[in-house]
Structure 1
Amino acid sequence: MNNFVFVAAENDALANCKAGGMGDVVRDVPRQISERGDKVHVVVPSYGRLHHDGLFKTNLNFDLRGQTYTAELYEVQPKKDFPNIVHYVIHHPEIEAGDIAHIYHNDPEEPFYTDAIKYFIFGIAVAEAIKKGAFGTVDVIHLHDWHSSLLLFLREYHDDYSNLRDIRIVYSIHNLAIQGIRPFDDNYSSVRNWFPNVVFDYRALMDYRYQDCINLMAVGIRFADAVHTVSPSYKKDVMLPSSPPEFIGGEGLEKDLQLANEEGRLFGILNGCNYKNINVEEKGQIYRNTVKALFRWLQMEDKKYKSDFLAHTGEKIMEYVGNRPKFIVSSVARLTEQKFYFFKRSPEAFVEILKKLEKVDGIFMLLGTGAPEYEELFRKMSYDHKNFIFTNGQSESLIDSIYLESDLYFMPSLFEPCGISQMLSMRNGNPCLVHYTGGLRDTVSHMKTGFCFDGDNYDEKIKNMLDVFDEALDVFQNDQPKWKKIQTAAKKKRFTWKKSVDNYYKDLYKIEGK
């Protein structure tokens, strides 16, 4: 039996421990490993809350800032039990919950200031737990994004954790744009402040743009035994320099990624999607679930500032309860530049889409929260356009209904390492209209399982987005046999975790025959 440790900032196998797609991967991959008879220990920070009701396992003592720190390791109960998977959290008062999904901090003046502190403490605590044998004899450590890359820094430079050199360490990139850049010196949230006695190589750790800073995403790429992007096309993208907004590639780290590829350490493996034990709503509940979600949010203190808007959305949705529109286009996403840059920069293009929908008695449903400027843009557009329903919150049952009842799923991501939304939509037999980039390129085929737009520059992309939207509407209205064929082909597509984890074992873990 092989013994794995997964180290991440999120784990959707636990309640309230997810902000994005990384949480899904950290939930699903261990389940596949468990099916192969191997054992997985999944460890995340407690964020001051996830250790409640946990089983205390051990104290972890280590040196930070020239003094002894003590963190606590708890075993915690997952949402669903699987054999050979044990879930843990690490608790320390300075590992605090942030304002983003009660996980990450948003520090606009000094990015990563608070997060770096908590993930420094978390990272060394995990290293100490491994050294103490809290997870048994470990064969493979799988790290996820910059929040966990400190273990590679410790393996490389910290005398107390040289035991990590005997363990294969794999690093998955979920969001290359968020890199965990902090100063080397002269700051409370700096490497030197937290590790005053560790001798390290500045050049090997530095960010190319800010040479007085460590880049923790780069640390993962430079020092891991295998580096993993979450789709084959995204692997190709990240080895090229970014040229925003037309193309988002290596985000300044393309040379490191090219080198990892030359050394045979870089692998592009598509994320999977869950096709078992799916909790879905019944059909026909989409408007009722919208109203229920709106009523719940109206009672929440932190939603008071948008109560007028929530009431406005409720009034709009009531019209459709007994009078279903003929065509529903939807999007479910965090409201960020990555997901909706095209609409933010060219709101007139989005208005054009709404006008096209009006002609066919169609609506656009968008669910999400995120950057204030994106929320404000969509709230304003909802007031201005009758057939745009913007539900500015999060509701699992409403998300299920949207995936179940939409006719077309819209995903105009500027870049997309893998994407899960298009897979969830296709799982329900809904064609997707996507920007032909990253993982969307690996999952959606134009006029076969959905619709794709692209272009050599920004203006071309916007024009093609509108042309392809026309194409999709035309097929829906005038060629129902073809539309049904596309629906069926989308539903038949299978992006299984079994296939993905077969490749993990072969390429990332270097374990044959499982």
Structure 2
Amino acid sequence: MKVLFASSESFPFLKTGGLGDVAYALPKALRKLGIDARVIMPKYSDIAENFRYNTSHIKSFDVPVGWRNKYCGLEYYEYDGIPFYFIDNDYYFKRSGAYGYYDDGERFAYFSRAVLQAITYMGDFNPDIIHCNDWQTGMIPVLLKEHYRDYSNYNHIKTIFTIHNLRYQGVFDKKVLTELLCLNEGYFHEDALKFYDGVSYMKGGLLFADKISTVSTTYAEEIKTPYYGEHLHGIMQKRSDDLWGIVNGIDYDLMNPETDKNLFFNYNSETLYNKTKNKLELQKMLNLPVNENIPMIGLVSRLVSQKGLDLIGCIIEDLLQDGIQLVVLGTGDKEYEDMFKYFAWKYPNKLSANILFDNSLAQKIYAASDMFLMPSLFEPCGIGQLISLRYGSLPIVRETGGLKDTVHPFNPCTGDGNGFSFTNYNAHDMLYVIRKAEYYYYNEKGNWTNLVKRAMHENNSWDNSAKIYANLYNSVI
């Protein structure tokens, strides 16, 4: 089976969020199952020079963008056994970052068409499936059916569309249909691409792909409801039989406390004293009181409302009266950045606010923390709680999306569970659960250590999920 994984980002080339991790780790896991999975993405100028200047050029060709033809260079690079293809065009991709430009509708219309054009030039690799991801590739299933179905090297190709976050939909002015996508105005109706007064690239993937997946079983059910469905819940209900919920994993080769070079000390479940040493070193680094007995709560996140930071804002004064340390890492909305900066100034011995993104520091926080806080309003899957489990930092989460699927509350009667959770989106429910975790940390060391070891022994790698994706692919061929 041959699968072309189309993504707007991928580790190690350019990553802004969880999609970048999935676009590397899932194809890697699929290849272990004997599936010829390859990745195609834009060749951004922010890709490190050691990658960007060492790709091999396969072919140059034109890509139709409305009435215009635009240059495309197809390039190739193999990393960690995974074949990567790159779509090269300086006009669209020689910019800082990946998203947030006024012409993103045109950039990813071009990318979607370029992916399809590139298939002709991939030699003996002719995919059975194009696996599309989020709105940036949502038009691929539409363009495949409209422009390529009559060609012999395309008419067998099936499409899978994965929703990583339904909130971000790629909605643009209706003129993109004719001016960018070479589609007629017949696509501007409710059963096609029309979304209020605009055109939704996300809706294209949802309606025209052969099957749909999303990144946890709970989120697959949630998005069928008005509260989580982002005005697309009707489509999710209509395509319910084609919708698969498959929880993400993490790459256990990369996320491994025994080998992680970012840590002060490597450790495993039998050498937890080295985990404690990581906490002591991070306390020194962040100018917090150095005390191995104080529970450290980590928060590594985009600082946006989706992540439940308004709940933290409601109770942070109360929380910082407790015998804890809170370590925050991330950037985002100014109100949350300022909130954490203010309380770090007010309580310098209790809170370290690191308003930046630093992958090395993130790994140090996962390793040093005793608990990891994710009180999300919604969370399609979540990666942070999976990493924290791997590193023995017990997650405290709200029961939504992938958090509900992967974090199971500790039951003191049976000893079962791998973390702590609360159901209602309520600040005081969250504070109650945090304090319950504090109680077990301080008063039941045996239970706490057993919980940490159980969390570290869990398998949240891609092994199981990759097999489910293989079943999904087989269901459409």
Q: TM-score range with shorter-chain normalisation?
A: 0.7 to 0.9
Aligned residues: 448
- After superposition, residues 24-39 of structure 1 pair within 5 angstroms as 24-39=21-36
Matches of 2:162 and 2:325, distance apart in 1: 38
1:63 equivalent in structure 2: 64
- How large is the RMSD of aligned CA atoms in angstroms? 2.3
Shift, 1:399, TM fit: 1.5
Q: Quick one: which of 396, 400, 404 aligns to 1:441?
A: 404
Spell out the pairing of 1:69-468 with structure 2 (5 A cutoff).
69-78=70-79, 81-82=80-81, 85-96=82-93, 102-105=97-100, 113-134=102-123, 136-158=125-147, 164-185=154-175, 190-196=176-182, 198=184, 200-203=186-189, 204-208=191-195, 210=196, 212-242=197-227, 249-261=228-240, 264-276=241-253, 278=256, 279-280=259-260, 281=263, 282=265, 283=274, 284-285=277-278, 317-320=286-289, 322-324=290-292, 326-343=294-311, 347-356=313-322, 360=323, 362-386=324-348, 387-447=350-410, 448-455=417-424, 458=425, 461-468=426-433
Equivalent residue for 1:501, pick from 466, 472, 475? 466
Aligned with 1:276: secondary structure?
coil
Q: 1:385 to 1:207 in 2, by over 3 A?
A: farther
Normalising by structure 2, what TM-score?
0.88
- Partner amino acid, structure 2, of 1:467: Y
Alignment partners' CA distance in 1, 2:94 and 2:341 = 28
Structure 2: how far apart are the matches of 1:462 and 1:173? 29
Distance in 1 separating the partners of 2:68 and 2:390:
52
Distance 1:194 1:271 in 2: 33
Give the Cα separation in 2 of the matches to 1:373 and 1:97. 31
Which one-letter code corresponds to 1:3 in the other structure?
Answer: K
Residue deviations 1:66-99 (CA, integer Å, cap 9, x gap) = 1221111111353xx21xx311211112323666
The CA distance in 1 between the partners of 2:188 and 2:278, in whole Å, is 57
Residue 38 of structure 2, aligned match among 41, 55, 60 = 41
Structure 1 unaligned blocks of 5 or more: 108-112, 243-248, 292-313
Corresponding residue for 1:8?
7
Cα gap change, 1:148 to 1:464, in 2 (>3 Å): same
Identity percentage over the alignment? 27
Deviation per residue, 1:211-247 (Å, 9 max, x gap): x3111111111111110010101111111111xxxxx
With over 3 angstroms needed to count, the CA separation of the structure-2 counterparts of 1:340 and 1:167, relative to structure 1, is: same
Shift of 1:372: 2.8
- Does the CA contact (< 8 Å) of 2:45 and 2:95 recur in 1? no
Q: Distance in 2 between matches of 1:207 and 1:381?
A: 45
Cα distance in structure 2, aligned partners of 1:197 and 1:272: 37
Q: TM (normalized to structure 1)?
A: 0.82
Q: Is the 8 A contact 2:177 2:184 kept in 1?
A: no
CA drift of 1:37 comes to 2.3
User: In structure 1, the residue corresponding to 2:90 is in which secondary structure?
Assistant: coil
| 3-state SS of 1:418 partner | coil
Give a deviation string over 1:157-184, Cα, whole Å, max 9, x none: 2368765442111011101100000011
Decide whether the 8 Å contact of 1:435 with 1:452 is kept in 2: yes
The 10-residue stretch of structure 1 (141-150 or 41-50) with the greater mean CA deviation from structure 2: 41-50
Give the distance between the partners of 2:183 and 2:212, measured in 1 at CA: 29
SS of residue in 2 equivalent to 1:95: helix
Q: Deviations over 1:96-121 (max 9, x none)?
A: 3666xx2112x5xxxxx322221111
**Aligned partner of 2:83: which letter?**
V
Q: CA deviation at 1:253?
A: 0.7
Match of 1:52 in 2: 53
Counterpart for residue 510 of structure 1? 475
Distance 1:446 1:289, change over 3 A: closer
